[in-house]
Amino acid sequence: QQQVKQSPQSLIVQKGGISIINCAYENTAFDYFPWYQQFPGKGPALLIAIRPDVSEKKEGRFTISFNKSAKQFSLHIMDSQPGDSATYFCAASMNTGFQKLVFGTGTRLLVSP
């Protein structure tokens, strides 16, 4: 119940295309859903995050869509660029205790020029 399932494992998108990464969770106590971007040999960097009281959040080319009833959320990268090539992790946490993050398994995105 603590797992966050992420798909696909890897993704190749042409420059200018839309990258879509999906995550699903079981624990309805989760109330914070961030996405992280990680480049090789670096720590993850927060990209965008959402709470369950909204269905969509957009920041620049990055959009989170959230479906509370389906317990799913996704990251859309519009106009994907080669510089977006990285590993993306979804995560979830609940507002109790130390708010530990539970990470998805990661998606390796490659944006071809």
Identity of the residue, 55 or 99, whose beta carbon is nearer to other proteins in the bound complex: 99
Distance, CA of 2 to CA of 85 (rounded, Å) = 28
Distance, CA of 20 to CA of 16 (rounded, Å) = 13
Distance, CA of 60 to CA of 36 (rounded, Å) = 15
Percentages helix, strand, coil for the chain (3-state, rounded to 5) are: 5, 55, 40
Identity of the residue, 96 or 113, whose beta carbon is nearer to other proteins in the bound complex: 96
- Map residues 61-90 to x or -, x wherever contact with other proteins holds by CB under 8 A: ----------------------------x-
Identity of the residue, 45 or 78, whose beta carbon is nearer to other proteins in the bound complex: 45
What is the contact surface with other proteins in residues (CB under 8 A)?
32, 34, 36, 41-46, 49, 89, 93, 95, 98-101, 103-106, 108
